[in-house]
Amino acid sequence: MLYQFRHRIIGPVVIIWLVLTVTSVVTRMIIWDQLTSNLKASADAVRFGEAVNHLFSAVQDAETSQRGFLLTDDGAYLQPFAQAEAALPMAFKQLTDLALHDPILQQDILELRGLTEVKMMELKDTIKLRHETGFSAALQVVATGKGKATMDDIRKVVARLNHARANMLATSAAAIRRETQLSQRTSLFTGFLGIGAGLLALYLVWVGSRQEKAAQTLFEEKTRAEKSVVEKSAFLANVSHEIRTPMNAILGFGELLENEPLAPRQTKYVRCIRQSGKSLLQLINDVLDLSKLEAGKLEPYLEPTDLREVLGFVQTMFAHQAMVKALELKLEAATLPQALLLDRLRLRQVLVNLVGNAVKFTDQGHVRVQADWVQQSGDRSRGCLSIEVADSGIGISPEKQREIFEPFVQSDPRSGGENQGTGLGLTIVRRLTELMGGTVSVESMPGQGSTFHLRFPDVQVSARLPVTDAIEADETVDFNDFAPATLLVVDDNETNRSLIAGIFEGTHHRLQLARDGQEALESIRNAKPDLVLLDIRMPIMDGRATLMEIRKLPALDLLPVIAITASSQVDDEKDLRHDFNGYVRKPFSRRVLYKELAQFLRRTARPLEPSGQIPPEAAPSAQPATIATARKAGDWDMLAAELRALQTEQWSLLCETLAINDTQAFAQKLRELARSTQCPPLSAYAEALAAHAEAYAVRDLERQLSEFPAVIMAIESKPASHV
C-alpha cells in the first residue's frame, strides 16, 4: 500500500517540482535580463558622460592651442588643435551611437555639433589671419566676442547633456535596487528547490562528464587527423619538389634529343621516354591535387571563359588517341554565351580526366561531350551549365558506381595493362566540381558505356572577353627571335644548368652560369646580364635572399628576374609571382621558357619588305611583343595602342572595383611596358599607381586611375624621340 502511494505521489510531485523550478528559472532570467539591461544603461550613461567631457576637452584644447599660436606665431602650438580636429568626428560618432534611441539627446548632440563646427571654423579663421596678416587682424576677430559666445553656448549644451547623463544614472540605479530586492526574494524561494536541483545537477554532471570525455576524445582524434593531413601535404610537396627536379632534366633533355637527327628507332625510344615522363608527372600532379583539396588549400579562380575553346583544347589533346583506336570523338556545344565566369583551368582539368577515362576504357564506338546552357528566368546574366561526357565503353557495374569517386578506387582493377592508374582521377573530378559549386553524377551499364553528368547551377555570364591561352599549332620555337642577350642561369643542380645551356646551344645568346646566390651576385657585379633565371632552393644563399641582394645593387631594381622552382605549393606560387618578375615551374618545356622570356627580351628587328611595308609577322596585330621595338622605331605608337587596349579591357573595371590586387597587377604590367619601351611618363605613372595600391590609399588610387587616359594622350601626342 505504501508502495502504491509512493507510486501515485511521485508523478505529481515531480511535475510540481519541475513547474516550480521552471517558473523560478524563468523569473530569475527575466529579472537578470532587466538587471543586465539597467546595468548596461548605467554603463552607457557613464560612457556618454565621458564622451561628452572628452569632446568638450578637445574643443577647449583647440581653443587653448589657438591662443598660444596667436600669441607666439609658433606652429608647435597648433599640434593640440590638429589633434582635436582629428578627434572630433569620432567623438561625435560615439555620442550619436550612445544616444541612438533618445531623440532629445540626439537633438542636443546635433546642436552641439553645429556649435562645435562654428567654433572650430572661427578658430581656423583666426589662425589663418594670424599666419597671413598678423596678430592685430586676428585679435580684432577675437575681440568681437563671437568665439566667446559660441563657447558659452557649447558649455550650456554640455551642461544639459551632463544633466541628462545624471538623470540616466539615477533612473538606472533605482531600477537596479528594485530588481536586486526582487532577486533576493526569488532567491529565497528557489533555495527550497535547491536539494532537488542539486540531485538533478549531480546527475547532469555525471552525464556531462561522460559527454565531455567523449568530446575530448573526438577532439584529439580530429587534431591528429588534421596534423596528419598537414604532415602529408608537406611530405607530398617536398617529395614533389625532389621528383620534379630530375623530371625537369628527363623531359628537357628528351625534348632536346627529339629535335636531333636520330635514327627512327632512337626517335621512338626518345618519344617513349618523354611520354612516360609526362605520365609520371600527371600521376604526381593528381596526388598533389588531391592533397591540396583535402587540406582546403585550393580556391576557385573565376575568369571569363569560352567553353568552346576549352572543348577545343580537350578535342586537340585526345584526337590522336581516338584516331589510333578508331573512335568517334565528338564535342558539341549548344548556344552558349561568349564568356562565362568559371575556373577555366580546373574545369579543363575535370574534362581532361573524364574524356581521358572515356577514351581509355572505350575500344570501339564513340566518345561524346555535350554542353548545354539554360538561362535563369528573369535574369539574363545567370544560368545553369550542364556538361555530359558519354562513351560506348566497358561501362561500370552498379556496386562500383558508388565507389568510383572515392580515392584509389578503379572501375576495373583487374583490367591491367594500359588501363591501370592511380584511381584518383574521378576523386579529383568530384572534388574540383564541388569546389566550383557544381555536382557530378554517373549513369552506366556494364558493356553499354557510361555517361557522366556535370551540373553548375548558378553560373554568371561575363561581359568581358574570354581569357585565352591557346597555343599555336606549330610547337617549334626559335630563341633567336629575341635580340642577342646575356642570360644569367643560377642553379645548384649541374644537370639543370646543363639543360638550359643545351636549350640555348646554337643561339646568339650568351649564358653565364652560377651555382648559388653568392656566385650570382659576383657575376652580376662583373657584368650586368639582361635577365636572370634564378632557382629558389639553393645552398649558401637561396633564390629569395639572392633577389633581395640583387635589388640592393645600384641600377638593378628593374633587372628582370624569373623564378625557376620545383615547388608545387599554392602559397609558394603566389608569393613568387608577387616578388619575382616571372615564374617558371619545373619541369618546363622550351615553349614555356620561350613564352616567359618573350615578356622581357626584345624581339630581333626584322628588315622591311622591298615594298617598304612591315611583314605580317611584325605587324602589331599579329605580334604584340614588337612593342619592345617601339624605342628603336623612334615613337610610341604601338605602346599607345597597347595602352588603349588595356584601357578597354582592364582599366574600366578597376575604376569600378578599385581592387587592390588587380591594380597591383595592372601597375606591374605598365612597369614592364614602360621598361621595354623606355617611356619615363608611363614609368612614373605606374610607380605612383603601385605605391597607392600598396598603401591601400583608396582616394589617391581612384585619382591616379582617373589620370590614365591623360597619360595615354600625352604618349600619343609626344613622340619618344622628343623626350
List pLDDT tens digits, range 382-409.
899 999 999 999 888 887 777 677 654 4
Pairing mode of beta strands 439-445, 449-460:
antiparallel
List pLDDT tens digits, range 425-446.
687 788 889 888 999 998 988 8
List pLDDT tens digits, range 306-347.
888 888 878 877 887 888 888 999 998 878 888 899 988 788
Average pLDDT, whole number, for the chain?
77
* Structure confidence at residue 282 (pLDDT): 63
Percentage of the chain with pLDDT > 90? 14
Statement to judge: residues 59 and 77 lie in one domain: yes
Instruction: Name the least confident of 156-160, 406-410, 489-493, 644-648.
Output: 406-410
What confidence tier does 620 reach under pLDDT thresholds 50, 70, 90?
very low
Statement to judge: residues 177 and 33 lie in one domain: yes
* Structure confidence at residue 633 (pLDDT): 39
Statement to judge: residues 451 and 484 lie in one domain: no
Report the Cα–Cα distance between both ends of the chain, in Å, rounded: 116
State how many domains the chain has: 5
Statement to judge: residues 262 and 306 lie in one domain: no
Which residue has better confidence, 231 or 595?
595
Statement to judge: residues 45 and 140 lie in one domain: yes
Domain membership flag for residue 210: no
* Structure confidence at residue 388 (pLDDT): 94
Domain at 273, CATH number: 1.10.287.130
CB 365 within 8 A of CB 391: yes
Element (H, E) at 7: helix 2-72
List pLDDT tens digits, range 1-11.
444 444 455 55
Which residue has better confidence, 419 or 694?
694
Domain membership flag for residue 217: no
Domain membership flag for residue 410: yes
% helix, strand, coil for the chain, step of 5: 65, 10, 25
Statement to judge: residues 91 and 20 lie in one domain: yes
Pairing mode of beta strands 531-535, 486-490:
parallel
Domain membership flag for residue 218: no
With a cut of 80, say whether residue 417 has pLDDT above it.
no
Task: Report pTM.
Answer: 0.41
Statement to judge: residues 579 and 702 lie in one domain: no
Which residue has better confidence, 248 or 663?
663
Statement to judge: residues 264 and 248 lie in one domain: yes
Domain that holds residue 234: 227-292
Domain at 643, CATH number: 1.20.120
Domain membership flag for residue 496: yes
Domain membership flag for residue 618: no
List pLDDT tens digits, range 80-126.
888 888 888 888 888 788 777 778 878 888 888 888 888 888 888 88
List pLDDT tens digits, range 504-527.
988 999 999 999 999 999 999 988
Domain boundary among 271, 292, 313: 292
With a cut of 60, say whether residue 261 has pLDDT above it.
yes
With a cut of 50, say whether residue 621 has pLDDT above it.
no
Domain membership flag for residue 603: no
Contacts of 81 (CB under 8 A, 6+ apart): 61, 62, 65, 66, 69, 123, 127
Element (H, E) at 584: strand 582-585
With a cut of 60, say whether residue 150 has pLDDT above it.
yes
Domain at 305, CATH number: 3.30.565.10
Sign of CA dihedral 215, 219, 220, 222: positive
Statement to judge: residues 88 and 172 lie in one domain: yes
* Structure confidence at residue 192 (pLDDT): 65
With a cut of 80, say whether residue 500 has pLDDT above it.
yes
What's the CA gap between 368 and 164, in Å, rounded? 78
With a cut of 60, say whether residue 43 has pLDDT above it.
yes
Statement to judge: residues 441 and 495 lie in one domain: no
Domain membership flag for residue 260: yes
Domain at 537, CATH number: 3.40.50.2300
List pLDDT tens digits, range 204-258.
567 667 877 888 888 888 777 777 666 666 666 666 667 777 777 787 787 777 7
Sign of CA dihedral 58, 62, 67, 72: positive
What confidence tier does 419 reach under pLDDT thresholds 50, 70, 90?
very low
* Number of residues assigned to the chain: 723
Statement to judge: residues 434 and 510 lie in one domain: no
Statement to judge: residues 284 and 308 lie in one domain: no
